[in-house]
Amino acid sequence: MNFRPRVHDEPEINLIPFIDVLLVVLIFLMLSTTYSKFTELQLQLPVADAQAQRDHAKEVLVSVTSEGAYAINKVPLPERSVEALAAALLEAAKAGKDSVLIISADASARHQAVVTVMEAARRSGLTQITFATQSSARAATP
């Protein structure tokens, strides 16, 4: 029988393998994580709803067909003269000089037909003129 007291060694914690494992995990996380890149300037852009802000009462829509015929707010005009077009624009401009003239011309309309609309707008005092277009995606689909 062995009655001698045993010498108990104190357990020793070796930190070197633990640190090695943590460094490997850290390197793995650094390599596999994607970082979002933000712009250097922080901007807060204004929010607007374009359809809600449109004031249809101030708009005068002039359509020009490929044959050179005119329609104001979808009402065809019998005459094609500058004077008749200017008189019709004055009548259609409910907001007066603040009205916006939208020229919607066919792609194959003559240049002179569009210039006639612009001249009639000048004679009637309408200075805010814009041109209606369609996106290339809509134009490609028949």
* Residue 58 CB contacts under 8 Å (≥ 6 apart), including other chains: 94, 95, 98, 99, 100
Alpha-carbon distance 28 to 20, whole Å?
12
Instruction: Report pLDDT digits (tens) over 33-54.
Output: 766 655 455 555 566 555 554 5
Is residue 22 predicted with pLDDT exceeding 90? yes
Query: Do the domain assignments include residue 129?
Result: yes
The answer as to whether 107 is a domain residue is yes
Identify whether 82 is part of a domain. yes
Question: Does some domain include residue 22?
Answer: no
Taking CA atoms, 54 is separated from 22, 49, 59, 95, 108, in Å, by 61, 9, 9, 14, 28
**Average pLDDT along the chain:** 81
3 or 52: which carries more pLDDT confidence?
3
Domain count, the chain: 1
What is the C-alpha separation between 29 and 113, in angstroms, rounded?
67
This prediction has a pTM of 0.57
Q: What is the DSSP letter of 39?
A: P
Whether 9 maps to a domain, the answer reads no
What is the CATH classification number for the domain harbouring 59? 3.30.420.270
- Structural domain for 65, as ranges: 55-135
Section 112-138 average pLDDT: 85
Kindly state whether residue 41 falls inside one of the protein's structural domains.
Answer: no
